[in-house]
Chain A
Amino acid sequence: MAETATFSLGKSKKRSRWIEEATRSGFFLCALASVLTTFGIVFVLIREAIPFFQVVPLTDFLFGTRWNALIEPRSFGVIPLLMGTMIIVIGSGLIAIPIGLASAIYLSEFASDRTRKIVKPVLEILAGIPTVVYGYFALTGITPLLKLINDDISVFNALSASIVVAVMILPMVASLCDDALKAVPRALREGGFALGSTKTEVSLKVVVPAALSGIVASFVLAFSRAIGETMAVTLAAGATPKLTMNPLESIQTMTAYIVQVATGDIEHGSVSYYSLYAVGGMLFLITLGANLLSHRILKKYREQYE
């Protein structure tokens, strides 16, 4: 009896070790796939951008103020595209960050459980709407409204795109800030209340500062998202690479340019074609920088606060 028991125990152990190993390898391969994909994308970006920079000097690309990639005379100064992107980022940030943070404070500190239970899922649904729908909404909803206020506004304009990008990133800002605020321990709030402070004082001066790292990280993520946003700005902001700070004019962002070239009939192997990768690489670097920054902010404040 004892012998059989030992034998079957050994066998089952052996099989479980084999399963362990297979499971581990399976998970490792999945993780490896995403890492390899990332490196693959970076590799392609660099390889395809090299022919571009062989024709256009890097300084002309970085500091040139005219972008005219598709018709002669061609000119590849990325500043107008960068500016277009920045107008959208700043415009949408100015709208989405205050409103998003305020909604988060309301949700986390003031709203009843019932309200929260309704609003939170709605926010998450908003975040799931395809961005092309938002772009269409900007073109057919927001722009006509803006035109009612001021008729001089172009059909394609940065303001309308900024507003719609703000609407898109707002749920993310609100939801992430709400998570950050909710993560502040109840004991801190009670400590504030016990000192005779009001709900407003506790919310703004205890809870928000304590949640600052999460809040700032959500801002940076919103920034990344706004930079990378493509369909809505392609539809609403236009395709006119222009060095302007006027949000009422038509502009072109880096992403919108990529859409334009990728869907157009640009000759494969031409400079215009390779410019795609130069712009794409630049986008990648900016978003990477933003994500690293948010990581650093989180880490720095976490050390300081916990």
Chain B
Amino acid sequence: MSSAEKTHTVSEEEFMNKRPATPEPQKNSSEASDKESDMKNAHLKGDNVTISYGSEQAVKNVDIRFPTNKITAVIGPSGCGKSTLLRAFNRMNDFIPSASVEGSLIYRDMDLYGKDIDPVEVRLRIGMVFQKPNPFPKTIYKNIAWAPQINGYKGDIDELVESSLRSAALWDEVSDRLHDSALGLSGGQQQRLCIARALAMKPEVLLMDEPCSALDPVSTSHIEDLMLELKKQYTIVIVTHNMQQAARVSDYTAFMDSGVLIEFDDTGTIFTKPSVQRTEDYVSGRFG
């Protein structure tokens, strides 16, 4: 059993019951599953999504699907709206007073912006890792235990901390100093701690907003390996500036420019024979 799969063995019923029951994500047995069935199997999707800051539209009429148990990369030049789009999917834009979201954003049976939807519940199911590692100024242990505890986790919290750290490939480095401040960790370790912290809440989707942009190459490759391991269990969406990274880790790639989704296809196609000239210009480094 891989360490990533261990996470789910400790899931505690009371803990899970706080959220609406959902069927286990379907596993894709073959790596080379074809695009059509992946798209059908996309539980996270947006239709005609427009996001504005005041009167300025940052994302314009985007239709997008994020296939389950795949890594989808969203690339594009700075200010193209990719982070804005990502943050809309777990309602992080709620904290920006001028931001407004139109269109439909759906996860499984849940309209993410439905009237009776609690944004807190959305974020329980759709976790997020940020551009800059943002561990709490608490101990390593408490960084992970905090959110499960306030959400009434009744299981063995030590075990949850360990399994989360193992899933994030951080356990071996920190097991002897769990009660030291998380701020003493290196940037790459802090980012993996933030991933572990998100995994401890057992989300179904992991949104990653340029998770490696503040990290050195070694830490970056750690995180990329981790993502490939995690996609067996989670649907991952990663926003990245780094095209090599998108090419290395993702199954699908969406290219955005000026708030518009220019092209979406499997990663190989986007990087080798994109159908839009602008995509080709971008992935070949001609602008952006």
**Do A and B interact?**
yes
B257 to chain A, nearest CB (A): 26
**How many Å lie between the Cα of A189 and that of B94 in the bound state?**
13
Q: Could you say which residues of chain B place their CB within 8 Å of the CB of A73?
A: none
Contact yes or no, A206 B151, CB < 8 A:
no
A275 to chain B, nearest CB (A): 48
Closest to A193 in B: B123
Contact yes or no, A188 B136, CB < 8 A:
yes
Closest to B200 in A: A195
**How many Å lie between the Cα of A187 and that of B95 in the bound state?**
12
A98 within 8 Å of B by Cβ?
A: no
Contact yes or no, B181 A196, CB < 8 A:
no
Contact yes or no, B198 A194, CB < 8 A:
yes
Q: Count of B residues near A, CB < 8 Å?
A: 27
**How many Å lie between the Cα of A160 and that of B198 in the bound state?**
51
Known: A196-B123, A206-B136. A113 touches B97 (CB 8 A): yes
Closest to A305 in B: B137
- Using an 8 Å CB-CB cutoff, how does the interface string of B175-204 with A read, 1 for contact, 0 for none? 000000101000000000010011001000
Stretch from A116-124, A174-182, A197-205, A259-267 contacting the other chain: A197-205
A75 to chain B, nearest CB (A): 52
Q: Could you say which residues of chain B place their CB within 8 Å of the CB of A6?
A: none
Known: A195-B127, A304-B181. A187 touches B134 (CB 8 A): yes
Known: A201-B150, A205-B146, A209-B138. A194 touches B128 (CB 8 A): yes
Closest to B132 in A: A187
**How many Å lie between the Cα of A305 and that of B127 in the bound state?**
25
- Using an 8 Å CB-CB cutoff, how does the interface string of B89-119 with A read, 1 for contact, 0 for none? 0101001010000000000000000000000
Residue in B135, B137, B150, B181 whose CB lies within 8 Å of A209: B137
Closest to B97 in A: A113
Q: Could you say which residues of chain B place their CB within 8 Å of the CB of A201?
A: 150
Known: A193-B92, A205-B150. A187 touches B198 (CB 8 A): no
A22 to chain B, nearest CB (A): 45
- Interface of chain A, helix or strand or loop or mixed? helix
A191 within 8 Å of B by Cβ?
A: yes
A152 to chain B, nearest CB (A): 47
Residue in A188, A193, A210, A304 whose CB lies within 8 Å of B95: A193
**How many Å lie between the Cα of A34 and that of B151 in the bound state?**
54
**Which of A185, A205, A210 has the most CB atoms of chain B within a 10 A radius of its CB?**
A205
Q: Could you say which residues of chain B place their CB within 8 Å of the CB of A197?
A: 120, 147, 150-151
A20 within 8 Å of B by Cβ?
A: no
| Residue ranges of A at the interface with B (Cβ–Cβ < 8 Å) | 112-113, 185, 187-198, 201, 205-206, 209-210, 304-306
8 A-B pairs whose Cβ atoms sit less than 8 Å apart in the complex: A188-B134, A189-B95, A190-B128, A191-B197, A194-B90, A194-B123, A196-B124, A197-B120
Nearest 4 interchain pairs by C-beta:
A196-B124, A195-B147, A187-B134, A194-B128
